[in-house]
Amino acid sequence: MGAKNAKVAAYSIPVIVKRLGQVDLPEDRNIALDLMSQVDSQLLNPKTQEIYAKQLKNCNGMQILIRITKSMVEDLDAASTFSQIVESIKLNVSLMMDLIQFGGLDLLEKIIRTHEKDDYLQVMIPKLIKVILGK
């Protein structure tokens, strides 16, 4: 299945995460980015964020997001989108525990090293790590 033949519509978090877990990288890079962006956009709404964060937790979404982002860490769009998702859920304790448990902090540090020329990530991620660790 190639990225050029697929269309991605807006779905619920469990459907998005299930599809994200099935992408074939690097061929489905654009699909993966679209799906990650959908997760991000659903988590941005403060009124529904708690519901969507619970859905993300219940379908092992953080683990899948970390796995996909690790395989796409060189991709600035994927790294930025993952960082934005973490920013959106930084106060959700259960998702932050998943982030820590499944190597998300190491991934954030790898993103900093990999994209050292990106000023936004160089400022945002260290602040994000401090919030997560409570420093």
pLDDT tens digit string along 68-95? 999 999 999 999 999 999 999 998 999 9
Give residue 26's identity as a one-letter amino acid code. P
Q: Are 21 and 59 in contact (CB under 8 A)?
A: no
pLDDT in tens, 3-32: 444 444 457 899 999 999 999 988 999 999
> For residue 42, which of 63, 65, 25 has the smallest C-alpha distance?
65
pLDDT in tens, 30-62: 999 999 999 999 999 888 899 999 999 999 999
Range of the domain at 99: 3-133
The length of the chain in residues reads: 135
CATH number at residue 80: 1.25.10
In total, how many domains does the chain have?
1
pLDDT at 9: 44
Which pTM value belongs to this model? 0.87
- Taking only Cα atoms into account, the Rg of the chain, rounded to an integer number of angstroms, comes to 14
pLDDT at 80: 96
Record the tokens describing residue 122, joined without a space.
């160089």
- pLDDT band for 134, please (50, 70, 90 cuts): confident
